[in-house]
Structure formats: structure tokens, C-alpha cells
Amino acid sequence: MRGKKLRTSEWFPWILVYVFVVAAPVLVMLIGPRPEGRPFLRDFSVAMAFCAMSIVGLQFVLTARIPSLKRPFGSDVVYYFHHRISVVAAGLVLLHLIVLAVDDASTWSLLAFWSAPVRARFAFASLLCLLALVLVSVFRKKLRVEYITWRITHGLLAMGAVAFAMTHMQLVGIYLSLPWKRVLWAAYAAVWIGALAYARVIRPIAMKLRPYEIASITEERGSAWSLRLAPLGHAGARFAPGQFAWITVGRSPFADLEHPFSYSSSAADPGSPVFTIKATGDFTNRIADLDVGIRVYVDGPFGAFSLDRRPAAEEFVFIAGGIGITPMMSMLRTMRDRRDTRRCTLIYAARSLEEMTFREELEGIGEDLNLRLHLVPTVADDEWKGPHGRIGPEILSEILPPSCKEGACEIYLCGPPPMMDAIEALLVRLGVPVQQIHTERFNLA
Ligand SMILES: Cc1cc2nc3c(=O)[nH]c(=O)nc-3n(C[C@H](O)[C@H](O)[C@H](O)COP(=O)(O)OP(=O)(O)OC[C@H]3O[C@@H](n4cnc5c(N)ncnc54)[C@H](O)[C@@H]3O)c2cc1C
């Protein structure tokens, strides 16, 4: 299977729809009767709050993993946007309050929760939820909040922020005087609740109907284990090499305890998917102790990090660090199975040669591919004749094929965040067009 090249017509309409949905409540607000003599600043502040409200509500849609929405952009871009736009929404809500206070300084007194009118209390509660949500998300790692605790509170705070804000709007009522304006907001709320239901009920049901079990567990170099899954009663899901899926191991798909992992197996064999998992934390440290036969649920595939998105490319460069080799492995194994002999280069960095996951297979796979392999251990003994140390400008400019600077190769990069940031910047400095650098970040949250 080769994927189609992405056309502007696939992603641009989504941007237009997003902007329209965020702006529509403001346009609607301006139509119909408004209270006489109401200062412009008050209308302006409400417009900002309405935009913030639409943005926060749309976050439920953005994170519902709706395939047609994720396909054009890729999950990391959608999550990146989700993070940034929530800061914008919180800023708009704060501006809403500040502009109201500029118009009428007595607005500040509404912050005295117990003496404030009920409508203001709801606004205050919504603001607190939104600020807590943004601050805890931005500083989660510094605050040492466990991922799963954060994920549960994140969902609750988001629902609280929206529900309290909706109640505040209803209680203020000025801009919802006409029935069809109320219908518009009811329709918005229905879409948001629908997106939540899709993510929390419909997708888990779909997973439950298509279970898998662990068929084998293989220890790999670099404290990693490969889980080969066997579909139970179905043929498995087709995926593009380089994509990932959310997997739930030994629990109900409704438990919301899933983790994202890239497929490491060939896309030519969707009936036997493999995920290679490095032990790094609570869940991944338990992989080695799992048993064959345990039930697994797979939600996917997702992601745009795939050579199938560039069917016309003549040459590929894969740059992997540590466990970031998994999507590259899937792409290389798929190329081998498809007898795809386009030129490719793999630059693979890890702490040492011993820790290079799939090392033996990589050293042999070149016989079936048009592959140049460069293993770059950070530390190596005197016998090692290849490059070593961190991948810097010298190593990269020596290894990078000349076609990359001429815009004729596609570069795929996946590894630890500091390595990715450094190499992305280096590639740009070396003259590689930015649209040819594709990244997969293993830290969505
Ligand atoms: C698109 C993508 C593809 C990935 N592919 C692979 C792969 O092929 N092989 C591999 O070993 N790792 C992969 N990862 C990383 C893997 O998902 C995390 O290492 C794993 O979820 C950590 O879980 P933990 O409980 O063991 O670690 P913890 O120590 O609990 O968490 C470490 C960090 O991992 C992230 N994390 C934890 N749980 C989740 C979760 N449920 N969902 C999302 N993020 C979480 C959080 O940022 C957290 O701070 C991938 C991540 C992403 C986003």
C-alpha cells in the first residue's frame, strides 16, 4: 500500500471550519437586539469570552482522535495546537475580565466569591478550572504530577471550565435573549458532548469488538521488549509504516489506561502487528513480566509520520535516537517486504552499540534494501571505526546525502526531545528545506 500525497484541499477546509466555528458566536452576538447604551468595551469583552468558550469546547473535538481530522495534520501537530490554543483561550478569558474591569472598576468586586452574585461565581469557578488546567499541564513534570493523575484531572477540569462557563452565560442571559441564539450554543454543546462520547464510549466499544492477544514477547537490545499481537476473530488493522496506536494491555478499553506506541513491524503484515517498548516508567517497566495470551486492545493507527505520505520521494534519510528507532524499523521492514529499492540512509544514535535495539537486523537488512547504515554510539571503544559521540554538524554534514540540500530527499527524525531539537536546527542550518523534515515526538503530553 502506498499512501496518497497530501493535498491542500485535505487540510485547508479544516482550518476554515475551525476559524468559522470559533468566530461564529461573535457574529451571531452582533445580530438582533442588544441592550441600549451598552458600552463597546463590554461587547468587546464578551466577544473574547465567546471565542474562548468555542476554543475550549473544540478541544474535546481535537482530542477525540477523529481519524479524518487527524489524518491531514498528524497527531503531534494536533496535540501541539491543542496545547498552544488552550493558553490563548485562558488569555482571552483573563482579558474578558480585565476589559470588563477597565469599563467598570467595580467588576473586581465580583472576584469576592461568597459575596458575588451567583452568575459571577460560576464565571469565577470556570476561570479557576481553566487556569488550573493550563498551569498544571504546562508545569506537570516540574510539579511531579503523575501522568495518569494529570490525565484524569485534566478531563475533569476541562468539563468543569465549560459547564461553569455555560451556566454563567445562561445566567447573564443578555446575549442569549433570542431562542435561535440559545439553539446555536445548545448545538455547540451537543457537538462537544458528542466528541466526548465518541472518545470515551464509541471508540472503546469499537476496540472491545476487535480484541488482540499477546502472541509473543521478545527481549531486544536497549531494555526493550517486542510485543507481537494476534488479532482475535478479525484480520487486524491496516496501518502505514511509521504510524502509532494507543494500546491497552490487560484492562478494559473503557478504563482509559492506554499508552501510545509506534508499530515496529512491517505494514505488509497487518495481521501480526508488533510494538517494541522500552522500559522507562510505571507501565513500560511491567512489559517484561507480561504473559503470552493476555488481552490487548488497539486504537489506531494514527499519525502522519510515514514514508507513505511522500510516494514520489526518491530518497529517504531516517535519523533515530534510542527507542525512536521503532517507526524507522517499521518503514525499513515495509520497504523490504514491498521490494522498494529507493535509496535510503539510516543514522541511528544510542548510548552504546550494545543498547542499539534491532542492531543485528539492521546490519543485515541492507542486503534487501538500497540502504546506507550509520550507527553512531555516544560512547565506543577503540575498535569502533565508525562515527561516535553526539550527532553534530561534522557527523551530519559528512553523512547527509547531497540530495537533501537540493530538496530531493525526505528526512524522518525521531528520538529524545533534546536530540530532536538539536538535529532539526542543524538540518535547517545545513540548508535542508524545512518541509522535508518530518518528526515524531514520543511526548504528546
Ligand atoms: C506517538 C508516540 C509513539 C511512541 N512510540 C513508542 C515506541 O514505539 N516505543 C516506546 O518504548 N515508547 C514509545 N512512546 C513513548 C511511550 O508512550 C511512553 O514511554 C509510555 O507511555 C510511558 O509510560 P510509563 O507509564 O511507562 O511511563 P511514566 O514514567 O509513567 O511516564 C513517562 C512519560 O511518558 C508519557 N506518558 C505516560 N503515560 C502515557 C500515556 N498513557 N499516554 C501518553 N503519554 C504517556 C508522559 O509524558 C510521562 O511523563 C511513544 C509515544 C508517542 C507519543
Pairing of strands 295-302, 371-377: unpaired
Average pLDDT over residues 401-420: 90
pLDDT of residue 4: 42
Give residue-wise pLDDT tens across range 280-328. Answer: 988 999 999 999 999 999 998 998 899 998 888 999 999 999 999 999 9
- Determine the Cα–Cα distance for residues 361 and 425; give it in Å rounded to an integer: 30
pLDDT of residue 3: 40
- Determine the Cα–Cα distance for residues 342 and 83; give it in Å rounded to an integer: 37
Ligand 1 lined by 80 (C-beta under 6 Å): no
User: Does 111 lie in the same domain as 64?
Assistant: yes
Give residue-wise pLDDT tens across range 360-410. Answer: 999 999 888 999 999 999 998 888 888 888 998 888 988 998 888 787 899
Ligand 1 lined by 286 (C-beta under 6 Å): no
- Report yes or no: 74 and 441 within 8 Å, Cβ to Cβ: no
DSSP of 131-159: HHHHHHHHTTTTTT--HHHHHHHHHHHHH
Q: What is the extent of the structural domain holding 322?
A: 307-440
Ligand 1 lined by 244 (C-beta under 6 Å): yes
User: Does 199 lie in the same domain as 219?
Assistant: no
- Determine the Cα–Cα distance for residues 213 and 215; give it in Å rounded to an integer: 6
Residue at which a domain ends, from 260, 279, 302: 302
- Determine the Cα–Cα distance for residues 162 and 166; give it in Å rounded to an integer: 6
Residue at which a domain ends, from 206, 235, 252: 206
User: Does 284 lie in the same domain as 326?
Assistant: no
User: Does 291 lie in the same domain as 182?
Assistant: no
262 C-alpha vs ligand 1 centroid, how far in Å?
A: 10
Residue 232 has pLDDT above 60, yes or no: yes
User: Does 327 lie in the same domain as 289?
Assistant: no
User: Does 275 lie in the same domain as 200?
Assistant: no
Output the CA–CA distances (angstroms, integers) from residue 215 to 218, 283, 292, in the order listed.
Answer: 10, 19, 6
- Determine the Cα–Cα distance for residues 356 and 377; give it in Å rounded to an integer: 8
The set of residues, in sequence order, having a beta carbon less than 8 Å from that of 146 and lying 6+ positions away, is 282
Ligand 1 lined by 181 (C-beta under 6 Å): no
Task: Decide if 445 is inside a domain.
Answer: no
Q: What amino acid is encoded at 211 in this protein?
A: P
Which is higher by pLDDT, 178 or 423? 423
Ligand 1 lined by 323 (C-beta under 6 Å): yes
pLDDT category at 73 given cuts 50, 70, 90 is: confident
In three-state secondary structure terms, 73 is: helix
Task: Decide if 1 is inside a domain.
Answer: no
Ligand 1 lined by 445 (C-beta under 6 Å): yes
User: Does 43 lie in the same domain as 131?
Assistant: yes
User: Does 191 lie in the same domain as 283?
Assistant: no
Closest residue by Cα to residue 213 from 228, 194, 196, 197: 228
User: Does 146 lie in the same domain as 96?
Assistant: yes
- Write out the H or E segment, with its range, that includes residue 287: none
Residue at which a domain ends, from 175, 206, 237: 206
User: Does 264 lie in the same domain as 187?
Assistant: no
Neighbours of 255 (CB within 10 A): 11
Cα-Cα-Cα-Cα dihedral sign, residues 110, 115, 117, 123 = positive
The set of residues, in sequence order, having a beta carbon less than 8 Å from that of 372 and lying 6+ positions away, is 343, 344, 345, 346, 366
Residue with CA nearest ligand 1 atom 37: 147
Pocket test for ligand 1, best of 146, 154, 283 (most atoms within 8 A of CB): 283
In three-state secondary structure terms, 363 is: helix
In three-state secondary structure terms, 203 is: helix
The whole-chain average pLDDT of the chain stands at: 91
Output the CA–CA distances (angstroms, integers) from residue 363 to 321, 323, 324, 358, 371, in the order listed.
Answer: 16, 17, 17, 9, 10
259 C-alpha vs ligand 1 centroid, how far in Å?
A: 6
Closest residue by Cα to residue 274 from 215, 324, 197, 345: 215
CA 406 from centroid of its chain's CA atoms = 30
pLDDT of residue 40: 86
Closest residue by Cα to residue 47 from 20, 26, 69: 26
Residue with cell 482509559: 256
79 C-alpha vs ligand 1 centroid, how far in Å?
A: 14
Ligand 1 lined by 91 (C-beta under 6 Å): no
pLDDT category at 1 given cuts 50, 70, 90 is: very low
User: Does 34 lie in the same domain as 165?
Assistant: yes
Nearest atom, ligand 1, residue 257 CA: 41
Nearest atom, ligand 1, residue 264 CA: 8
Residue 195 has pLDDT above 60, yes or no: yes
- Determine the Cα–Cα distance for residues 193 and 18; give it in Å rounded to an integer: 17
Task: Decide if 232 is inside a domain.
Answer: yes
pLDDT category at 2 given cuts 50, 70, 90 is: very low
Cα-Cα-Cα-Cα dihedral sign, residues 300, 249, 195, 54 = negative
18 C-alpha vs ligand 1 centroid, how far in Å?
A: 29
pLDDT category at 342 given cuts 50, 70, 90 is: very high
- Could you give the count of Cα atoms lying within 13 Å of 343 in the half-sphere of its Cβ? 11
Average pLDDT over residues 195-211: 95
Residue with CA nearest ligand 1 atom 3: 261
443 C-alpha vs ligand 1 centroid, how far in Å?
A: 7
Ligand 1 lined by 358 (C-beta under 6 Å): no
- Report yes or no: 60 and 195 within 8 Å, Cβ to Cβ: yes
Which is higher by pLDDT, 356 or 395? 356
Q: Please report, for the domain that includes residue 352, its CATH number.
A: 3.40.50.80
Phi-psi region of 185 (alpha: psi -120 to 50; beta: other; left: phi over 0): alpha
Q: What amino acid is encoded at 190 in this protein?
A: A
Give the total number of structural domains in the chain.
Answer: 3
Ligand 1 lined by 262 (C-beta under 6 Å): yes
Q: Please report, for the domain that includes residue 246, its CATH number.
A: 2.40.30.10
User: Does 224 lie in the same domain as 80?
Assistant: no
340 C-alpha vs ligand 1 centroid, how far in Å?
A: 31
Supply the DSSP symbol for 339. T
442 C-alpha vs ligand 1 centroid, how far in Å?
A: 7
Nearest atom, ligand 1, residue 263 CA: 8
Task: Decide if 159 is inside a domain.
Answer: yes
Task: Decide if 172 is inside a domain.
Answer: yes
Q: What is the 3-state secondary structure (H, E, C) of 147-197?
A: HHHHHHHHHHHHHHHHHHHHHHHHHHCHHHCCHHHHHHHHHHHHHHHHHHH
Task: Decide if 3 is inside a domain.
Answer: no
pLDDT category at 445 given cuts 50, 70, 90 is: low
Nearest atom, ligand 1, residue 224 CA: 11
Task: Decide if 177 is inside a domain.
Answer: yes
58 C-alpha vs ligand 1 centroid, how far in Å?
A: 25
In three-state secondary structure terms, 316 is: strand
Task: Decide if 414 is inside a domain.
Answer: yes
